[in-house]
Amino acid sequence: MEGKWWKEAVIYQIYPRSFMDSNGDGIGDLKGIISKIDYLVELGVSCVWLCPVYKSPNCDNGYDISDYRDIMDDFGTLEIWEELLHELHKHNIRLVMDLVVNHSSDENQWFVESRSSLDNPKRDYYIWRSAKPDGSLPNNWMACFGGPAWEYDKTTDQYYLHLFAIKQPDLNWESQHLREEIQSMMKFWLDKGIDGFRMDAISYISKVAGLPDGKGKGEPGTGFEHYAQGPHIHEYLHELNTKVLSNYDCMTVGEVSYVDLKDGIDFSGPDRQEINMIYMYDLLGMDKGEKRWQIRDWKLPEFKSIICKWQKGLSGKGWNSLYISNHDIPRAVSRYGNDSPEYRIVSAKMLATMNHTLQGTPYIYQGEEIGMTNVKFDSIDDYDDIEIRNFYYENEETHERTREDIMASIHHFGRDNSRTPMQWDSSPNAGFTTGKPWIKINPNYQSINVAESLSDPNSVFHYYQKLIKMRKELPILIDGHFDSYYEDDLNLFVYTRTLENQVLFIALNFSNSTQNLAIPSNLSLEGSKLVISNYENDESSIPKQLRPYEAIVYLKN
């Protein structure tokens, strides 16, 4: 387990549609990414996770794949993709591709064949069921993007299961042929030289036999308990590992929503031969109320207890991903920090300090490194995301919530918050495109953009640069044992990482007021030296107070 490159990596997530457009059609593309490799080099990241770029009708922006072995026309060609891989490698940046195999697109050839007749050889690549004798749906499961999880198909008078959108039929992992197709597709990309996979919704691939009805409503939808970490999940992952992955020097990160600690360890335990690290979702439920996308106030102790549970629970037994934002969730500085002009920069740096000093592999989602924020569009027509649009129209239909209330939830939780284009500079369309962008740019691009961040030595960008450098220089950040203090404190998150005689002391102020900081009594930190801070601080004495959103890291040798 020692010395694995993916433990030392800092991974940069690219959402290609919104990163950089090279040809003025308003859609980010592979050539656009190639043109920004120097930027990634300057930031210092060692690996890119590229969200899906395969052929897709784009009902869910590439997470509905119609051809697993080719590139979406909007993004380029397989040749340009090869060039991207080559250029990244030339700059010592690895490439991890998204693997979306819980479902495909309904336009995938597999599904076209599967739906054509009951006895088609690919019928069992998907999950087909007849209506119940009383004519009702095969079960009561709800799709993650709203509505029932079953869609009727008249050709064979049966329903197919889709845990996400109607155009995303679930693949049937019980079929050995299907599993072999997936293995061969993974080899196709690994043989081209990629460095691993981020496995989309992977904890959902095994469904409980008999597909029983689910209990009431839940997040993300009724029936969840029968497919999240289902009965064969570990067996399937082990098979992928031994048959394919173990033959390559590659990494795997599994998106595992709402799993428990035991399964987290089983997924990522080094002796288990399943996946290398988990990407868990627990933190994301914290600010959600009982009803879908209902805003709930949260307190810091809840936030800390989730992080501490996984830090302590996986220590020495598994491996975590560290992230504060991605393409499915709102911008971190707006959600956990403070995006007002006064505190945006300092709170973005504070959150970054946390994400780079816990144990695990840090991920940076495009734009996070310049402190990009949420967006508030007034009209539903300005939103593109299928989850947002379904949420809006379903709620509008039931009249249970006012329009203001619905929009407030979208502004708070909507996925397009993080999908507005990357803000490169203050020129029209933030330098993202010379054409009309596929989704509006966040109007704050004139003050928040890469060019501005690069020119300011105190910018969020330069702080991220330092954090990434710091991880390369301090092995304690990889292997150091995690301990936390004052877990009930409402404002401060204080923890240490310990490795042999070294102690790394981290204190973060999550509030907008000054807080007293006492050194925990069991720690002797005399002689500590400042490693990084988002304010001016004394090189050799730990401050007794933390200013609003202040973050400090001191090392005792």
Residues lying near ligand TEU in the complex (CB under 6 A): 60, 63, 100, 144, 164, 200-201, 220, 255, 257, 327-328, 387, 415
What Cα–Cα distance (Å) separates residue 464 from each residue in 45, 93, 396? 10, 17, 42
Of the pair 104, 509, the CB lying nearest ligand TEU is at: 104
The reply to whether 425 belongs to the active site is no
Q: How far is the CB of 426 from ligand TEU (least distance, A)?
A: 30
Q: How far is the CB of 352 from ligand TEU (least distance, A)?
A: 22
Does residue number 23 form part of the binding site for Ca ion (CB under 5 A)?
A: yes
Of the pair 24, 475, the CB lying nearest Ca ion is at: 24
Exactly one of 18, 21, 49, 392 binds Ca ion (CB under 5 A); that residue is 21
The site partner of 25 among Ca ion, ligand TEU, none (C-beta below 5 to 8 Å per kind) is Ca ion
Phi-psi region of 323 (alpha: psi -120 to 50; beta: other; left: phi over 0): beta
The site partner of 164 among Ca ion, ligand TEU, none (C-beta below 5 to 8 Å per kind) is ligand TEU
Residues 402 and 395 sit within 8 Å (Cβ to Cβ)? no
What Cα–Cα distance (Å) separates residue 215 from each residue in 162, 290, 308? 18, 15, 30
The site partner of 220 among ligand TEU, Ca ion, none (C-beta below 5 to 8 Å per kind) is ligand TEU
CA gyration radius, the chain: 23
Q: What does the DSSP 8-state code read for residue 320?
A: B
Residues 310 and 261 sit within 8 Å (Cβ to Cβ)? yes
**Residue whose beta carbon is closest to ligand TEU:** 63
Token representation of residue 531? 């490693």
Token representation of residue 356? 């780079």
Does residue number 29 form part of the binding site for Ca ion (CB under 5 A)?
A: yes
**Residue whose beta carbon is closest to Ca ion:** 29
Of the pair 46, 423, the CB lying nearest Ca ion is at: 423
Does residue number 27 form part of the binding site for Ca ion (CB under 5 A)?
A: yes
Q: How far is the CB of 438 from Ca ion (least distance, A)?
A: 9
The site partner of 415 among Ca ion, ligand TEU, none (C-beta below 5 to 8 Å per kind) is ligand TEU
Residues 12 and 49 sit within 8 Å (Cβ to Cβ)? yes
What Cα–Cα distance (Å) separates residue 42 from each residue in 38, 136, 427, 459? 6, 58, 22, 14
The reply to whether 200 belongs to the active site is yes
* Neighbouring C-beta atoms of residue 244, cutoff 10 Å: 19
**Closest by Cα among 309, 183, 4, 43 to 14:** 43
Q: How far is the CB of 72 from Ca ion (least distance, A)?
A: 11
Of the pair 173, 505, the CB lying nearest ligand TEU is at: 173
Token representation of residue 439? 């989704």
Q: What is the Cα–Cα distance from 240 to 250, expressed in whole angstroms?
A: 13
The site partner of 101 among ligand TEU, Ca ion, none (C-beta below 5 to 8 Å per kind) is none
At residue 473, what is the residue type?
E
Q: What is the Cα–Cα distance from 38 to 93, expressed in whole angstroms?
A: 11
Token representation of residue 184? 């061969």
Check 60, 74, 170, 200 and give the catalytic one.
200
Exactly one of 5, 7, 25, 82 binds Ca ion (CB under 5 A); that residue is 25
The C-alpha torsion from 260 through 265 and 267 to 268, rounded to 10°, is 140
Of the pair 279, 482, the CB lying nearest ligand TEU is at: 279
The site partner of 257 among ligand TEU, Ca ion, none (C-beta below 5 to 8 Å per kind) is ligand TEU
Q: How far is the CB of 199 from ligand TEU (least distance, A)?
A: 10
Does residue number 20 form part of the binding site for Ca ion (CB under 5 A)?
A: no
Are β-strands 11-14 and 47-50 bridged in parallel, bridged antiparallel, or unpaired? parallel
The site partner of 63 among Ca ion, ligand TEU, none (C-beta below 5 to 8 Å per kind) is ligand TEU
Check 29, 64, 255, 368 and give the catalytic one.
255
Q: How far is the CB of 77 from ligand TEU (least distance, A)?
A: 24
Q: How far is the CB of 392 from ligand TEU (least distance, A)?
A: 14
Residues 376 and 414 sit within 8 Å (Cβ to Cβ)? no
Q: What is the Cα–Cα distance from 497 to 478, expressed in whole angstroms?
A: 9
Active site residues: 200, 255
Q: Which residues bind Ca ion (CB under 5 A)?
A: 21, 23, 25, 27, 29
